[in-house]
Amino acid sequence: MADCMLLIEDEALLGAEIKRHYARAGWEVTLAATLADAERELFAGNLEPLVVLADMNLPDGNSLEFLERVRQRGIPGEWIILTGYGTIADSVRGLRLGAVDFLEKPCELQRLDMIVAGAARGARAQRRLQDEHSQQHRRYSVSAFMGQSAAAATVRDMLARLAGVPISTLLISGETGTGKGLAARILHHSGQRQRGPIVEINCAALPRELLESELFGHEAGAFTGAKGRRRGLIEQAHGGTLFLDEIGEMPLDLQAKLLKVIEDRRLRRLGAGEEVAVDLQIIAASNQDLRARIQEKSFREDLYHRLSVFTLALPTLRQRPEDLRVLVPALLDEFNAVASKTVRMVHEATWSLMESYPWPGNVRELRNAVERCVLLSDSEVFPSHWLGLHAHDTAIASQAERRQFTAGVVVIPLDGSVSIEQAERKLLAAALEKCNGNATAAARLLGSTRETMRYRIQKHGLTLKESSTNEAAPEA
């Protein structure tokens, strides 16, 4: 697709020459002879030029005033102003409004080509950043915290409220895997600092000395190996969000330095003599009980109160098992796309298994389990045997089977997870359970002989109770 240029020029011959020149170079050039024509193209026609090449003075107005209106509308693109009699004041105003350059006519085409090429590179970079920002905003909208439960709805409502207010600090609590990182990204990309960066760090992943340098930065020679100045993560998050995961693992002396940054909005790099002003919001997260850590003297109470101006507690997955019916299909869609699979069918027995499992790793564990099942699948049926919940499956199954045996019912799933041999063993075990381990009674129950029953019991390694010698087995 050709790059788009808007050319605003009232001199017909000059406009035609410039349009022809850049059309030969591969540009898609739209020529406007007046500001009214340019306004229709930009405002009504939704033209998105990469570069705007505009004459300074047009019959119906001044291009700088038009540029100001365009910037207020948020229309992207780099502007180059051409004029036959410009002033220094005009140049200063044009640069202040974001014009790339201010050139006097006549301008050599070779020089104009260089300036247009540079403006195009800058505009492409801006467009990439804008597209990335739009994608992140869509990906991390409030609805990204999925679930149909009341607990999930409460979290979404709280996220929407917090995203609409200017947050200075916030604390997110919850077990490992409940989505604390997701909540932090939602708050950033849906909040008032979405145009700024989001910088994330896990405080438990770095030793104390490295964590201090990463957070606060350093000057050249501040310590052995510090060869140059480095901006810390707090500085890098200026204008945006700093997400401190596992804040409970931060050493006490660094907690004091972090508290000072929050209070003063200033920091001092390691080895520096002057402080640097910073403007950011800080979101901290922990899977620990920070109040208990305060009692243990391993977390500062003043930092806790400063961080917990707003507090968001995330529910565990076992507290909202009904949300599995929303989360699993979404994960299936994601991993089907990655692995080029078509896993769609989840049997009710599999849903029961997943809904009864406690998921100690919460959504992170669920995500890993679903990914494994999709990657190892060979049909459209969700292969529950790859979930890795065997120990729990056995305990749940034994409880369910005892209830089924008492009722004289045996349930065998037809989803490919049970072979013929396993089905036969399950039927024999059910009969023996029903008959208290008596092979003769079990054979009678299944319409078989005692000898056949004993053979199959021995084949499958089941236990039985010897019947009385006077009890006769029925003939096959």
The architecture in CATH of the region 419-476 reads Orthogonal Bundle (1.10)
Other beta carbons less than 10 A from residue 202's beta carbon:
15
CA distance 318 to 455: 44
Does the domain spanning 317-408 belong to CATH 1.10.8.60?
yes
Angle between helices 439-446 and 420-434 (to 10 degrees): 120
Angle at 225 between CA 220 and CA 227, to 5 degrees: 35
Task: Tell me the residue length of the chain.
Answer: 476
- Decide if 35 contacts 58 (C-beta within 8 A): yes
The pLDDT of residue 85: 66
The pLDDT of residue 474: 41
**β 276-277/266-267 pair status:** antiparallel
DSSP 140-172: TSGGGS--SSHHHHHHHHHHHHHHTS--SEEEE
CA distance 86 to 218: 46
Per-residue pLDDT of the chain (476 residues; tens, 9 = 90+): 578 999 999 889 989 999 999 999 989 999 999 999 999 988 888 888 999 999 888 888 888 888 888 888 888 889 998 887 656 666 677 777 778 888 887 788 888 999 999 989 988 888 887 777 677 777 889 999 999 999 999 999 999 999 999 989 999 999 999 999 999 999 999 998 988 899 999 999 999 888 998 999 988 877 777 777 788 999 999 999 999 999 999 999 999 999 999 999 999 988 887 889 999 999 999 999 999 999 999 999 999 999 999 999 999 999 999 999 999 999 999 999 999 999 999 999 999 999 999 999 999 999 999 999 999 999 999 998 888 875 444 444 445 544 554 456 676 766 555 677 778 888 888 888 888 888 888 888 888 888 888 878 887 777 765 443 334 434 43
The architecture in CATH of the region 146-313 reads 3-Layer(aba) Sandwich (3.40)
Query: CATH 1.10.10.60 occupies which residues in the chain?
Result: 419-476
Q: What is the dihedral of CA 390, 393, 395, 397, to 10 degrees?
A: -140
- Which of 349, 347, 356, 433 minimizes the C-alpha distance to 396? 356
Query: CATH 1.10.8.60 occupies which residues in the chain?
Result: 317-408
Q: CA dist 380 to 45, 104, 358, Å? A: 47, 67, 26
CA distance 257 to 282: 14
Query: CATH 3.40.50.2300 occupies which residues in the chain?
Result: 4-136
Cross-strand bridge partners of residue 28: 4
Q: CA dist 66 to 70, 72, 80, 240, 428, Å? A: 6, 10, 13, 31, 86
As a CATH number, domain 4-136 is 3.40.50.2300
Query: CATH 3.40.50.300 occupies which residues in the chain?
Result: 146-313
Chain centroid to Cα 251, Å, comes to 28
The pLDDT of residue 414: 62
- Decide if 101 contacts 116 (C-beta within 8 A): no
The pLDDT of residue 340: 93
Angle at 455 between CA 452 and CA 457, to 5 degrees: 105
- Give 447-451 contacts, CB < 8 A, sequence gap 24+: 447/474, 448/476, 449/473, 449/474, 449/475, 449/476
SS3 138: helix
The pLDDT of residue 472: 40
- Decide if 226 contacts 271 (C-beta within 8 A): yes
